[in-house]
Every structure is written in C-alpha cells, then in structure tokens.
Amino acid sequence: MSNLTRPPETTLRRRTDLSAGTAFVTDWALEQTSGTAGTSPEAPVVLVVGFDGSEPAQRALDAATELLRDREGMLEVVYVAQDPPGSASSTGLETSAAAHDVESRLAYEVRARLDTTEPSWHFQHRHGAVASELLDAAEELRRQRGPDATVVLVVGGSSNQHLHVAGSVPSNLAQVDRFPLVVVP
C-alpha cells in the first residue's frame, strides 16, 4: 500500500525536529554551525570527525578542516569498525587482518587529505557502535582538556534514505545531545 492510499493516521513521517545542538552545514553558515558561536574565535576547539572513507565522511572531514581555518584547535578523526550483526569471530585472525587493512587504508587516506593542512590532527580506530564510540571519544577528549573545552562532533549525512527511518548515526547523535553536532550533507 503506498503512502497515497494509506489512511492519514498510518502515514509514516520523518522526524524533522532535530535538537537545538544539531546543525546542517551550508556555505553561508559554516562558522555558526560549528557549535561555537557563543565562544571566542581564539578559544581552541576539538572537532571529533566520524570517518569511514565514504563520500559523506570525506565531506565531513573537509568541512571540519574548513571550520578550523584561522582558528586554534585540532581534529580527532575516528574510524569505528563494526562486526556484522550475529557474526561469530571464529575466523578472528582473518577478521583481524582485514580490519587492520581497512584501518591502514583509511589512516593513509586521512593522512593524504590532511598532511598539507594547518590544523593538527590525530587518527584513531575504535570498535563498536558508531554513535556510541564517537560520543566516547568526545567524552575522553573533554576529560583530557577540561570541562570548559569546546568539543564538537562532525559527521557526514547518511547517503541511504532507509537509514533515516531505521536510525542513522547523525540522528542517534542528535538524540543524545551531549555535544554540538554538525551534520554535513
């Protein structure tokens, strides 16, 4: 049954009321969307960037680099590996070798994109649920830098429409609302 023939009470609707800490990047609002509009431009900012090598992740990395142009701060680029649901690691060595290959490729890609840029950066690999691991990385950086540190999450928008219904990383991060969030389309 299509949405056109469904009774109005069963029509599926996409959530559009993202939290106030969520911003979608556009060229004209890039600086304001960094979640730092209320802080001094001289105050250092730590941007935690979710990176999996996809096009949206590459755009997020580029936008995060742009956010730090002429501003003190650093990029923490985080790759989160996930086990497929229901997978058993009976082939742990093969899985480990494949995961290491992916991590090495992504670290190389990040290095190639950022070595010629100004902000300092660090690449880390984590294992688990993407949104949870990005939040954990941000919490760790806030603890290291103090409670007044400005830590902002930067992620690419989902390229798959069905994930908007099932729950994408950006929507999961927006629901938690512990850090300013920049979603780069």
The per-residue pLDDT for 105 is 92
pLDDT for residue 156 is more than 90: yes
How would you list the strands of the sheet with 73-81, edge to edge?
A: 22-24, 181-184, 150-156, 45-50, 73-81, 120-127
pLDDT for residue 17 is more than 60: no
- Going by DSSP bridges, is the β-strand pair 150-156/120-127 parallel, antiparallel, or unpaired? unpaired
Taking the alpha carbons of 158, 185, 31, 29 in that order, is the dihedral positive or negative? negative
* Number of C-beta neighbours around residue 176 at 10 A: 15
DSSP code string of 86-122: T---TTHHHHHHHHHHHHHHHHHHHHHHHTTSSSEEE
Domain spans of the chain?
19-34+44-144+174-184
pLDDT for residue 159 is more than 70: no
Distance, in Å, from the CA atom of 183 to the CA atom of 37, rounded to the nearest integer, reads 16
Distance linking the first and last C-alpha atoms of the chain:
30
Question: Which of 3.90.1330.10, 3.40.50.620, 2.30.130.10, 3.30.43.10 would CATH assign to domain 19-34+44-144+174-184?
Answer: 3.40.50.620
What does the buried/exposed string (b/e) look like for 30-64 if buried means 16 or more CB atoms within 10 Å of the residue's CB? beebbbbeeeeeeeebbbbbbbbeeebbbbbbbbb
Q: Which residues contact 95 (CB under 8 A, 6 or more apart)?
A: 83, 89
Contact 53, 105 (CB under 8 A): yes
Tell me the per-residue pLDDT of 32-83, one tens digit each, with 9 for 90 and over: 444 555 555 567 899 999 999 999 999 999 999 999 888 889 999 999 998 6
Mean pLDDT, to the nearest integer, of 159-180? 74
Q: What confidence tier does 84 reach under pLDDT thresholds 50, 70, 90?
A: low
Q: 94 or 176: whose pLDDT is higher? A: 176
Q: What confidence tier does 86 reach under pLDDT thresholds 50, 70, 90?
A: low
The per-residue pLDDT for 9 is 37
Q: What confidence tier does 18 reach under pLDDT thresholds 50, 70, 90?
A: very low
Q: What confidence tier does 151 reach under pLDDT thresholds 50, 70, 90?
A: very high
Longest dimension (CA), the chain: 56
Mean pLDDT, to the nearest integer, of 93-101? 70
Tell me the per-residue pLDDT of 100-140, one tens digit each, with 9 for 90 and over: 888 899 999 999 888 877 789 999 999 999 999 999 999 99
pTM of the model: 0.73
- Going by DSSP bridges, is the β-strand pair 181-184/150-156 parallel, antiparallel, or unpaired? parallel
Residue 72's alpha-carbon distances to 27, 43, 175, 182, in angstroms, are 20, 7, 29, 18
Q: What confidence tier does 21 reach under pLDDT thresholds 50, 70, 90?
A: very low
